[in-house]
Amino acid sequence: MIGVFSFLLYYKVESKGKDGEFMKTNHLNVVIAGGGSTYTPGIVQAMISSRERFPFSSLTLYDIDEARNDDMFEIIRYMLKKEALSNEVDLYQTTDAQEAFTGADFIFSQLRVGGMKMRELDEKIPMKYGLVGQETCGLGGFSYGLRSIKGLLEIVSYVDHYASDAWLLNYTNPETLVSEAVRRAFPDVKMLNACDMTISIEETIATNYGYDRKNWIPMYYGLNHFGWYTSIYDKSVDRDVLPEILERLENERLHVADFNAGDDTWQEAWDMMRLMTKNFPGYLPNNYLEYYLYPNRTVEHTDPNYTRANIVMDGREKQTKEMARKVREQEKGEILDFNFGEHGNYIMDMAASILNDNHDRFMLIVPNKGAIPNLRDDAMVEVPAYVGRTGAEPISLRFAINDFHKGLMEAQNAAEKLLVDAYFEHSYQKALQAFTLNQTVYSADPAKQILDDFIKANGDYWPELN
């Protein structure tokens, strides 16, 4: 049964979709693919706070992990009840793709194919050979990437079949790899690929140094988790504040923001950012570049037996399971305990900008096509883009990037393209080339050993490589 809004809404029609139907602008049906994720409450809270500009009346949690999805269903139902929305928003959970995606208007994708147990292997297998163990960077990121490509292409195929006019907003990592694969397999899908890391960087700096990030117009370029800020124009003072931010970074330590509180690895990340700006001045780097510029340091400071995956499993995963238990047992007091910063708001802002044709500005992963003029056109790059009813409109940098950044990006981009080739061609040789070329790898010997280990560990999660 469809719930009824307690305030008047009108039905407005705008541009037509691929099937000739006009785009709905209210009574929206939203699907969260990967609904059992611990990040789902942050997205739903942002949706609840945004109903005037994004009027949804149906929310479906889709996940192949029925137990996790059921836990999240209980938490979200509790959230809707707490906000007095139980009679206005229909909430569903399902493991059936046809049931989930038929009639959807917006899909938010946040898959973790293989779950946290596979993430643990992504991080620990490279470390056996003295290489970086990280979920989205290095060879662990490539392992995760081949799983994610397979999982996300399946989701896109469902959307293409059951809801071809729906917008798919993707948070699934590693973003450059999955967006490259989708570009090849489904070039006409209505999809935005976004990462919240740049927003987390900006939010952390603004909180530490007393800025309001909403006044910022940042200029940034790179690959996903592999880029640099060149300026941050602040409308409130009518100038670029990046030089003073870099100066303050040199003299003042960045502290972990409240949305990452309790996780010491983030303090290490911000300290490494200070080192990068000291040794390579003039730009503010994405903090993930530490894995490529200083792989030796990250390996030295990482416990090979207790990685980030273990921290998350012992922290956020258990905390979410406990919240679900408290909801089921109807415990009294404050049950919900989560803070994901701008993660949920960012994807919600993108959806609202599409729906209302706002042309708000976001950092998106898009085909280069001249945005970075001296980089190959078919690279999937992360640059600012304006988002409206017709999708993303990336900006052009209007300047050639320097040789240091270009060289790093070209090598990493080539490795990523080789890995996507390996997926579609089932090519062991292309996979080995990709692993060897990855910017965290010093030799083809460990690249091959780690690739062979990952083939065994991933099993059917990966395509067969011949």
User: pLDDT digits over 230-270, tens only?
Assistant: 999 999 999 999 999 999 999 999 888 766 666 778 889 99
Distance CA 110, CA 32 (A): 8
Give whole-number Cα distances, 324 to 10, 40, 299, 320, 411, in Å.
36, 13, 36, 6, 45
Nearest to 304 by CA among 114, 124, 184, 96: 124
So what's the pLDDT on residue 420?
98
Binding residues for Mn(2+): 195, 225
Arithmetic mean of pLDDT over the chain = 93
So what's the pLDDT on residue 262?
62
So what's the pLDDT on residue 360?
98
Residues 6+ apart with CB under 8 A from 261: 339
CB 199 within 8 A of CB 214: no
CB 342 within 8 A of CB 200: yes
User: pLDDT digits over 43-89, tens only?
Assistant: 999 999 999 999 999 999 999 999 999 999 999 999 999 999 999 99
Residues 6+ apart with CB under 8 A from 61: 32, 35, 36, 40, 69, 72, 73, 76, 91, 92, 93, 94
Distance CA 455, CA 280 (A): 37
Binding residues for substrate: 119, 173, 308
User: pLDDT digits over 299-330, tens only?
Assistant: 999 999 999 999 999 999 999 999 999 999 99
Query: Which DSSP helix (H) or strand (E) runs through 372?
Result: none
CB 167 within 8 A of CB 351: yes
Q: Do the bridges between strand 360-367 and strand 380-388 make them parallel or antiparallel, or are there none, so unpaired?
A: antiparallel
CB 168 within 8 A of CB 131: no
Catalytic residues: 196, 288
CA atoms within 13 A on the CB side of 207: 15
User: pLDDT digits over 164-176, tens only?
Assistant: 999 999 999 999 9
Query: Which DSSP helix (H) or strand (E) runs through 29?
Result: strand 28-33
So what's the pLDDT on residue 68?
97
So what's the pLDDT on residue 462?
98
Encoded amino acid at 234, one letter: D
% of the chain residues with pLDDT over 90: 88
Q: Check pLDDT > 80 for residue 339.
A: no
Alpha carbon 78 to chain centroid, angstroms: 26
pTM of the model: 0.93
So what's the pLDDT on residue 4?
27
Over range 420-430, report the average pLDDT: 98
Encoded amino acid at 327, one letter: V
Give whole-number Cα distances, 234 to 163, 216, 284, 359, 395, in Å.
40, 5, 15, 19, 18
Over range 182-196, report the average pLDDT: 96
% of the chain residues with pLDDT over 70: 94
CB 108 within 8 A of CB 171: yes
